[in-house]
Amino acid sequence: MSLPARTAAIIAVGSELLTASRTDTNSLQITGALNAAGIEVAFKAIVGDDRDELGAMCRQAMARVPLVIFTGGLGPTDDDLTREVVAEVLGLALHEDAAVMAAIRARFEARGLRMPEANRRQAAVPAGAHVLANPNGTAPGLWISAGDHGLLLMPGPPREMRPMLAHAMEAWVTPRWGGQRLRRRELRIAGRTESRVEEIAQPLYSTWVSSPLPIETTILAGPGVIELHLSVRSPDEAAADQVLADAVAALSARFPDDLVSDDGRSLEQVVGDDLRARGYRIAFAESCTGGLATSRLTDVPGSSAYLDRSVVAYSNESKIDLLGVGEDLLRAHGAVSEPVAAAMAEGVRARAGVEIAVGITGIAGPGGGTPEKPVGTVAIAVAGPAGTVVRTCRFVGGRGLIKTFAAGTAIDMVRRYLRGAAPDLDWAARPSK
Amino acid sequence: MSLPARTAAIIAVGSELLTASRTDTNSLQITGALNAAGIEVAFKAIVGDDRDELGAMCRQAMARVPLVIFTGGLGPTDDDLTREVVAEVLGLALHEDAAVMAAIRARFEARGLRMPEANRRQAAVPAGAHVLANPNGTAPGLWISAGDHGLLLMPGPPREMRPMLAHAMEAWVTPRWGGQRLRRRELRIAGRTESRVEEIAQPLYSTWVSSPLPIETTILAGPGVIELHLSVRSPDEAAADQVLADAVAALSARFPDDLVSDDGRSLEQVVGDDLRARGYRIAFAESCTGGLATSRLTDVPGSSAYLDRSVVAYSNESKIDLLGVGEDLLRAHGAVSEPVAAAMAEGVRARAGVEIAVGITGIAGPGGGTPEKPVGTVAIAVAGPAGTVVRTCRFVGGRGLIKTFAAGTAIDMVRRYLRGAAPDLDWAARPSK
């Protein structure tokens, strides 16, 4: 059977990694190093300190990929099994390596300690394996070449694992398995559902897949913002970058107003940069989002340069007092309505004396919905030098999700306003008046 | 071959989970739920959107354990393969389920949208599978009983996965695979560092471990709130509950003012309940937290009953205009100071005419720090019928973490104020004047 070239599996070993509170993070560094060398990760696994499970997963990985990378289970105690199990799966005898033994002993002596007998285990090396020095701990790493396979065994503590990974990549992995460089672009699209993005982008995907330098795409749907990750693998970085630039241009043309960024910037960063470029200041009048829109905008360092103020007006009285919303308006249309959202935005804009202002009023639920205005109904207004734009959206989900969607949509409506684009959103209940 | 009883494998599906920047976290919730039902996790795996790898891992898991739990890969797009691959491995035909189809269509119609053709895929159900409703998304979950095996397929987004997991555990997993009942209590403690909580609780732990019904404790440190999870495994539920009640009483005595709840309620819920019980209304004046404290308080359904308003006053002018903070005060002490925090709280309290008000002013960073007031310095005041209490805290971390810590501490200071407890906090820079 021939294994797919330039693919790897990562196996993290340790029962503590199978509890409800711990997660493996070594695999992220390892993935980064592998990807940079043009090697893809076929799968990752987390196995406890269990001889059978570890052996089964080792066999499974060797059946699927040429390169298998282990972290953890190289310590001195009885439940550290990686060394033994891998030797057993490969049918290799273990012998005590004198040089490793001496290094471990020296490490203890340097601290004025006698080496505990248990640490002898760490000097056991499978026949033919190469020992990888560990400047930050007693457990040496191991590199084993076995037929078509390469197996890398590294300790679990990140500060011991990292330098060893760098060395092993350079000495063993990249020369034999390294391939084409992976180039990537990240696009963010707002105001569209995931399936709408798919529908529009699908015709492009199909041309990309069949091109000489095929583009791989991944779609990640967050509440209100969709991420498209494009990647190309090629020995020629300039050619890969050109293919990606063309793809980004083609996508931009299909989402002219919806494309938030093609350089990894978040929606909040983009809006902040746009405000700063124009020398504009912004203010918010929030009701159902309870301050979340403002809080998200202020997650960006330096946002004090453009955020003037925000008012969370939950009660009708506070809408009247703080924002100058007319009592008659509230009575005629209800607090959740486009006229009130517009009055909130215009009220805070006039009082703060800023260029751009946002008004948000809606029903986050779970209570308070009516047949005409169900839970998830949110009116959002942006007021600015070009007048006031307002939309009513219908969001679906629990209270937290509705708040998140509404805050993100409000920030996206500011982005569209600043670019002179109409807020044509998939969740707008109807085109604006 | 007989499979080990009460063991499970968790498979997270999605190419984005195999990049260097993303990690699977769903498996932590799933592990918690399985452990609570007395089921152990034999291994976890992360597989990309790849038919062969997913099929191989599904077969591997079924060869090792009776219970296999998938998250992700149930979306509407071509690279969502979990449904199909599992059906293929089990040799089950897929058919379109009319009820699922209708539910998906209704979800789109509720937002005034036409269902995209792509979403049809999500109505495909393997023969004999049970459909699990998804109130928070279009992808239904699936439960499949296949001979000795149970397979649970859930969507990847955590807010969709979590309610489905709870339901599936109760309806399918626990009745057939559950072991000894696990009884649990959850305590939340605020204002203390993790190591302080450990130090105080350690003597109790040691007696619990050696008791006839030993208590297992897990400590989960969040920013500002520490959770202690106590659990006892026993066939006798009443005895287990008594042991836990005694332990909770012992802990409460050691953290009299710091114990937020022993019934799973969040800090925000507890403060909301306390405000409601007293018939008090609350208002916020936030600076560095940018609305986050208010947003967190409004995550609780029904919070409009006690939240009147909030003002995010980033600029000095807005602190003067909206809150009546004196210009002289700002000049004499600087915007980040106890007198200004107190004036913000008192200003918003007077203007809103509420019983309780909060003022928060600080340096979230990364810029703006000085030797006397480094990044992370935050002054927090609570004003109310018993006067004004103010503390300066020093938080450590990035901008987001500092905001989160400060918002949580402000809410905790309200809790302490309402209970007449002094704000003796581990992160207070010094005892209050």
Is residue B432 one of the residues assigned to a domain?
no
CA pair distance B357, A134, nearest whole angstrom? 56
Q: Give residue A433's pLDDT.
A: 38
Is residue A284 one of the residues assigned to a domain?
yes
The residue out of B228, B243, B261 marking a domain boundary is B261
3-class DSSP assignment, residue B167? helix
CA pair distance B336, B429, nearest whole angstrom? 14
Which residues neighbour B259 within 8 Å (Cβ) at sequence distance 6 or greater? B187, B188, B189, B251, B252
Q: Encode burial over A165-176: b for 16+ CB neighbours within 10 A, e otherwise.
A: beebbeebbbee
Q: How far is B130 from chain A (nearest CA, A)?
A: 23
Residues B218 and B319 reside in one and the same domain: no
Q: How far is A26 from chain B (nearest CA, A)?
A: 10
What are the 10-residue block averages of pLDDT along chain B, 433 residues in total? 83 91 86 87 96 96 96 91 96 94 89 85 93 90 94 94 93 82 87 84 86 81 83 84 95 95 94 98 97 96 94 91 93 96 97 97 92 94 97 87 94 97 81 41
Residues A212 and A168 reside in one and the same domain: no
The residue out of A220, A241, A261 marking a domain boundary is A261
Picking from A1, A7, A44, A317 by the largest number of B CB atoms within 10 A of its own CB, the best residue to mutate is A44
3-class DSSP assignment, residue B407? helix
Q: Give residue B334's pLDDT.
A: 94
Residues B163 and B19 reside in one and the same domain: yes
Structure tokens at B347: 């200003």
- What CATH number is given to the structural domain containing A142? 3.40.980.10
Q: Give residue B280's pLDDT.
A: 98
Residues B27 and B63 reside in one and the same domain: yes
- Domain with A245, as residue range(s), is 181-261
Number of domains, chain B: 3
- For the entire predicted model, the pTM comes to 0.73
What are the 10-residue block averages of pLDDT along chain A, 433 residues in total? 83 89 85 86 95 96 96 87 96 93 86 80 92 87 94 91 92 82 88 89 87 84 86 86 95 96 94 97 96 96 94 91 93 96 97 96 92 94 97 90 94 97 82 40
Residues B153 and B192 reside in one and the same domain: no
Q: Give residue A430's pLDDT.
A: 57
Chain B residues within 8 A of A395 when measuring between CB atoms: 111
Is residue A50 one of the residues assigned to a domain?
yes
Q: Which of residues 310-369 of A touch B (CB under 8 A)?
A: 310-315, 317-318, 321-322, 351-352, 364-367
CA pair distance A222, A186, nearest whole angstrom? 14
Q: Does B50 touch chain A (CB under 8 A)?
A: yes
Which amino acid type is present at position B428? A
Residues A111 and A26 reside in one and the same domain: yes
- What CATH number is given to the structural domain containing A340? 3.90.950.20
For tokens 């992700």, the residue is B72
For tokens 């779609």, the residue is A219
Q: Does A135 touch chain B (CB under 8 A)?
A: no
Q: How far is B258 from chain A (nearest CA, A)?
A: 23
CA distances from B354 to A13, B85, B283, B309 (A): 56, 59, 7, 9
Picking from A43, A65, A85 by the largest number of B CB atoms within 10 A of its own CB, the best residue to mutate is A43
Is residue B430 one of the residues assigned to a domain?
no
Is residue B56 one of the residues assigned to a domain?
yes
Nearest CB to A430: which of B28, B112, B292?
B112
Residues B23 and B138 reside in one and the same domain: yes
Residues B200 and B275 reside in one and the same domain: no
**Contact predicate A161/A26, CB 8 Å:** yes
The residue out of A122, A146, A177 marking a domain boundary is A177
Is residue B431 one of the residues assigned to a domain?
no
**Contact predicate B410/B293, CB 8 Å:** yes
Is residue A189 one of the residues assigned to a domain?
yes
Q: Give residue B432's pLDDT.
A: 40
Residues A76 and A104 reside in one and the same domain: yes
Question: Taking CB atoms and an 8 Å cut-off, how many pairs form between chains A and B?
Answer: 252
Q: Does A394 contact B110 at a Cβ distance shorter than 8 Å?
A: yes
Residues B353 and B411 reside in one and the same domain: yes
- What CATH number is given to the structural domain containing A190? 3.30.70.600
Is residue B198 one of the residues assigned to a domain?
yes
Q: Give residue A135's pLDDT.
A: 81
Residues B130 and B194 reside in one and the same domain: no
**Contact predicate A97/A81, CB 8 Å:** no
Q: Does B49 contact A397 at a Cβ distance shorter than 8 Å?
A: no
Q: Give residue A431's pLDDT.
A: 43
Residues A47 and A163 reside in one and the same domain: yes
